[in-house]
A and B are shown apart, each in its own frame.
Chain A
Amino acid sequence: MKKIRCALIGSGNIGTDLIYKIQRSPVLEPVWMVGIDPESEGLARAREMGLKTTAAGVDGLLPYVLEDNIQIAFDATSAYVHAENSRKLNELGVMMIDLTPAAIGPLCVPPVNLKAHAEKVEMNVNMISCAGQATIPIVYAVSSVQSVSYGEIVASLASKSIGPGTRANLDEFTYTTSNAIEIVGGARKGKALAIINPAEPPMMMRNTISCLTDAEPDQARITASVLAMITEVQKYVPGYRLVNGPLFDGNRVTVFMEVAGLGDYLPKYAGNLDIMTAAATRTAEMFAQEILAGTIQLKPLEVA
């Protein structure tokens, strides 16, 4: 079967893990890996795995986009360079999946709103953050039963799974995730907290999701909705697991989750890496299926 050819930008933890996810996809094929450091481990690994590589940033990829028929690119660099990367690739008709907190395109959480984005043929969709992917489905599961005035999520992440880019830009992570709890999760106000824990052996990614409902929570319906959503997420992240809850205390609903990764690039504790790359891959697959079926067509974006 024909596959849609992809480029990966950023050779850090996320970019490298993406190679594994995309190689397994029936509709996607990883072709290029873009880095900025010729000596980087990520580029070396990408070459070993059969990808073409450049250490000259996105500009090193541009001359090959058309001849190699690249149609989807994943950006796992930083919020600061994403806008420029996106502009250059969109001009060539490449659809952009943004794994940075830049969030210039619409926010995407696959089980909540992916279908709507694919139908609109968005040329840039943003994957929010690992914590966003792990928690917003649950916020949405509650807010789709009854209105939520406040959603708060706490993500605990193993120190070894957090790369230098995220560390140096924690505020961007906080802003983007908080905003997405409102826009995608459906809470009127959202707040995101991140904790980086250095315990050895590394702790599995944990997420606690709390929602305040306006009216007294309908326990049976909320529990059913949360469990159904967990099943949806498990379709692309099998290690997404309920540990405790839903716990009901007055108008507060709390759900305690754990995310085990597949152990592709980093070990299983780095569920945060997996849920991000798996969500991005699922998003790309949805677009790829539509492109292959001829229902959508990517067009170069005119840039003023």
Chain B
Amino acid sequence: MSADQSLKGRKVIIHDMCLRDGMHAKREQISIEQMVKIASALDDAGVPLIQVTHGAGMGGNSLQHGFAPHSNEEYLSAVVPKMKQAKVSVLLIPGLGTMKELKSAYDCGARSVHVATHCTEADTSPQHIAFARKLGMDTTGFLMMAHLNTPEGLAEQGKLMESYGAQTVYITDSAGYMLPADVKARVSALRAVLKPETEIGFHGHHNMGMGIANSIAAIEEGASRIDASVAGLGAGAGNTPLEVFAAVCERMGIETGCDLFKLMDMAEDLIVPMMDHMVRVDRSSLTLGFAGVYSTFLLHAQRAADCFGVPARDILVELGRKKMIGGQEDMIVDTAMTMARERGLLKLAAV
């Protein structure tokens, strides 16, 4: 039996990332008006879950991750009341965001949360996952940079998150590094150990052009939730482009409940015109995928390149070599300064 037949009738929950991962691609500069407009269009197109926060989630407003023009609470309070069917979700990375901030997001109407840790550090999330469940939120454990852990290792980490109360566990390809076989091995390893009622999700980045193929591979192995973003608006080369994914699902008979043509129109009329740069596979974003570097590092590396005269690609490759992970954006400037000094482009102010 071919894959398209075997997936016929499978139900998949699409989770849009435009207004969270997309914040990275906009240097966190999305207005409340744009948020409401885009979320309303997604709601109207039948997308069931929409993530709305600073790109780094709860507590993200910082020198490290950039300041958005508004607080997470302001965005949520503007978007949530406008939703007719969609549920609004948030991102929480322990070590950056706290339970206080999650409670505040809940009070503004957020009802679903991705609790995210690096793929080997699930045990930094027990209090946050338990607290989200206590609030009654749809709770996901989100294992980032999943290419840096083995399928067996990820299965163990996923099992931990399930034990804390996560109802869904995500394989998160933050670097857009994985190929379909990598995704299949990881999703099937998770499926083998998680309870049947625990869902599995996949969050892709399109740095190697694999967003759609990887998402389908995940579904073949039992994933039932897919993160995607209309027109791919997200970090690096963007997330799995939602309208393209919806079209592929429709051809394969996978049921998403989304209106394909409305999503296509949205991509063309709303999202692409608001992009500051074309979110696509280019030299820098391909470097991220190829070297396995956190997608959010892209614009930071370009800024550091402009400041210190070291090419962004060199900085990204060095960050990959030093095994820097999500959240270590400060190490981009540090690495660029050290490289610039080694190349005689910068004198140390003081030793």
Residues of chain A whose beta carbon lies under 8 Å from any beta carbon of chain B: 150, 152, 154, 156, 159, 164, 167-171, 174-175, 191, 193-200, 203, 206, 208, 210, 212, 223, 226-227, 242-247, 252, 254, 256
Contact = CB atoms under 8 A, between A and B. Distances in A.
Contacts of B95: 170, 174, 193-196
B150 interface: no
B120 A256 contact: no
Contacts of B334: 206, 208, 243-244, 256
Nearest to A194: B95
Given A154-B330, A191-B62, 16 more contacts: A156-B328, A159-B120, A164-B123, A170-B95, A170-B124, A171-B100, A194-B95, A195-B95, A199-B323, A199-B325, A208-B64, A208-B334, A223-B349, A244-B338, A252-B63, A256-B334
Contact of A247 (B94, B120, B121, B337): B337
23 contacts: A154-B64, A154-B327, A156-B328, A156-B330, A156-B331, A159-B120, A168-B127, A170-B95, A171-B128, A193-B64, A193-B96, A195-B326, A195-B327, A196-B95, A197-B118, A198-B118, A198-B148, A208-B64, A242-B351, A243-B338, A244-B333, A244-B338, A254-B333
Interface in B13-68: 59, 62-64
B350 interface: yes
A170 B131 CA distance: 13
A49 B218 CA distance: 53
Contacts of B325: 195, 197-199
Nearest to A164: B123
A293 B145 CA distance: 56
B277 interface: no
Given A198-B118, A256-B334, A168 B63 contact: no
Interface residues of B, number: 36
A200 B333 CA distance: 22
Interface string B279-313: 00000000000000000000000000000000000
Given A152-B64, A159-B121, A208 B330 contact: yes
A164 B123 CA distance: 8
Contact of A171 (B118, B123, B127, B337): B127
Ordered nearest first, which 10 A-B pairs have the shortest CB separation? A199-B323, A208-B330, A194-B95, A195-B327, A198-B120, A244-B337, A256-B334, A171-B98, A210-B63, A170-B94
Contacts of A159: 120-121
A226 B350 CA distance: 10
A150 B62 CA distance: 10
Contacts of A212: 63
A212 to B, nearest CB: 8
Interface of B: 59, 62-64, 94-96, 98-100, 118, 120-121, 123-124, 126-128, 148, 322-328, 330-331, 333-334, 337-338, 348-351
A246 B128 CA distance: 35
A171 B94 contact: yes
Nearest to B95: A194
Contact of A206 (B99, B128, B331, B349): B331
B344 to A, nearest CB: 15
B99 A171 contact: yes
A242 B350 contact: yes
Contacts of A243: 334, 338
A81 B330 CA distance: 35
A193 B322 contact: no
A210 B349 CA distance: 16
Nearest to A202: B323
Contacts of A247: 333, 337, 349
B51 to A, nearest CB: 21
A298 B197 CA distance: 59
A80 to B, nearest CB: 12
Contact of A196 (B121, B337, B350): B121
A206 to B, nearest CB: 7
A168 B126 contact: yes
A68 B96 CA distance: 44
B347 to A, nearest CB: 12
Nearest to B119: A198
Contact of B323 (A197, A208, A226, A254): A197
Given A164-B123, A170-B127, A174-B95, A256 B322 contact: no
Contacts of B348: 244
Nearest to A171: B98
A199 B98 contact: no
| Most chain A Cβ neighbours within 10 Å, of B124, B327, B348 | B124
B337 to A, nearest CB: 4
A229 to B, nearest CB: 12
B124 A246 contact: no
Contacts of B326: 195
Contacts of A152: 62-64
A21 to B, nearest CB: 27
Contacts of B63: 150, 152, 210, 212, 252
Contacts of B333: 244, 247, 254, 256
Contacts of B148: 198
A219 B148 CA distance: 41
